[in-house]
Each structure stands twice: as structure tokens, then as C-alpha cells.
Amino acid sequence: DTEVTQTPKHLVMGMTNKKSLKCEQHMGHRAMYWYKQKAKKPPELMFVYSYEKLSINESVPSRFSPECPNSSLLNLHLHALQPEDSALYLCASSHDRVGGYTFGSGTRLTVV
């Protein structure tokens, strides 16, 4: 299995909703990442988990809450989002710095 699977593919949520994005990989990668990508822009790093521990938080607002239940799963819990949070949310995993990242196909989030 050489894939990173993200669900759902599309999500529309209101500003008072609570939702979660899910990411799964079975490649034995010990680092997992959340990126946010706005249209026509490069991905921006949000969080890095290394060996199931949060190692980097790029000053992301607390309405985004990551969770790494085990080495294969990564969640992003969403609460009280704003319309400007609408974007493509990408999950990725990596084994080391040499191989680069493997990305999922993303969740396209719309906040209404």
C-alpha cells in the first residue's frame, strides 16, 4: 500500500459546526503532516507529527485541533471555522528527508 487516504473528499460546514478530517497511511511512515492550500497557492504547513507526537505547530488557530491516535491515523478536528478557512486540506506522510512526502488527494472544505 503506497497511498495516503483522506476522507471526506468534500465537506461543507457551517461556522457553528464541529467536523473532523481523517487521514490514513499504511506505509510505516512515522511522520505525518497537515497542509492547507488556497487556490493558486502552494501548500502551507499546519502541523507535523513525528512518532505520534506533535512536533511542529505553525501558529495555527485553536479552531483547528490535530490528533494522532496511532502511527497510521491522523485527524484534524474543526470547530467554529470562518469562511476564510475554506481551502483544500492535504495530509502527507514521510519516512525520512530523502524520500520526500506522499500526499493524499485532499479534502476540499467549504465554510458557509
Partner 1 sequence: GNSVTQMEGPVTLSEEAFLTINCTYTATGYPSLFWYVQYPGEGLQLLLKATKADDKGSNKGFEATYRKETTSFHLEKGSVQVSDSAVYFCASFTGGGNKLTFGTGTQLKVEL
Residues contributing to the site for partner 1 (CB under 8 A): 6, 31, 33, 40-43, 45, 48, 50, 55-56, 88, 90, 92, 94, 96-106
* Residue number with CB closer to partner 1 (85 or 104): 104
Distance CA 53, CA 87 (A): 25
* Residue number with CB closer to partner 1 (3 or 17): 3
Distance, CA of 100 to chain centre? 17
* Residue number with CB closer to partner 1 (18 or 58): 58
Closest CA to 73 of 19, 15, 20: 20
- CB of residue 100 vs partner 1: minimum separation in angstroms? 5
- CB of residue 83 vs partner 1: minimum separation in angstroms? 21
Q: Is 31 helix (H, G, I), strand (E, B) or coil?
A: strand
Cα angle value 81/71/51 (rounded, 5°): 90
